[in-house]
Amino acid sequence: MDMEEIKKEVLPDGSLVREVILKQVKPCVASEGKIRVLMELNADIGDVIPIIANMYPPGAVNYVKKKNILTLTIYDRLISLYPSGKVSMNKTQDVDEAFDIIEEIMKKINDAYEAYKEGVRGRDLSRIGPMDVHRCLPGSNCGDCGESTCMAFAMKLLNGEQKLDSCLPLKEPWMQEKVHCLEEVLGEHLMETLGWSGY
């Protein structure tokens, strides 16, 4: 699929990324009838990639620290972010959808850059598993969250299929120790990502 590159100013006021160039469109080998696109952002994003890795549920994140390459399983597709600003995206409907999705990702990148300027650095969350979360949950298997056990909740939470706010017992004042435990395990950014709005 030969095409001319398309350059778009997506976020004119973006603090780090503002423009994107659609470099290449190919048929998607993973999903018939869809496309795979290669895009290029206007800035190097190497410093913020580790922070972006903390902004999505761990189950959706594959971060290769050695190469600083982040692959996200979001919007029902794989999206890879490279330090140079290159972005690849598969299972995409058309060019318009590619631009809609890259806009959302560029907003996250700029949020991560703001955090970076304030001294936030990425945490290695690759080893966090359901057991780590489970030990910080109330443990009563009460079912208020819609899951039959706290372990089932922990597993779905890490996959982005549950929200921390759905565990109503965690909101009780006497559960503060458990919440602090979660803050230590997950960090502030990921707590928010996983749907914690506070007490």
| Binding site residues, ligand SF4, CB under 6 A | 137-138, 140-145, 147, 150, 153, 167-169
For ligand SF4, which is the closer residue by CB, 113 or 153? 153
- Report the nearest approach of ligand SF4 to the CB of residue 120 (Å): 28
Which CB atom, from 46 or from 138, has the smaller least distance to ligand SF4?
Answer: 138
CA atoms of 124 and 143, how far apart (whole Å) = 31
Which single residue is written with the structure tokens 């914690």? 196
In angstroms, what is the minimal distance from the CB of 130 to ligand SF4? 11
The half-sphere exposure of 13 on its side-chain side, counting CA atoms within 13 A, is 1
Rg for the chain, CA atoms, rounded: 19
Nearest residue (CB) to ligand SF4, 48 versus 157: 157
- Assess contact for 71 and 62: CB atoms under 8 A: yes
CB neighbour burial string for 85-103, b if at least 16 within 10 angstroms, e if fewer: bebbbbbbeeeebbbebbe
Minimum CB–partner distance for residue 176 and ligand SF4 (Å): 15
* Between 93 and 166, CB nearer to ligand SF4: 166
Q: Where are the beta strands (DSSP E) in 140-183?
A: none
**CB 2 to ligand SF4: min, Å:** 52
* 126/140 with CB nearer ligand SF4: 140
Amino acid at 95: V
User: Which residues are 22's β-sheet partners?
Assistant: 6, 39
CB of 139 to ligand SF4, least distance (A): 7
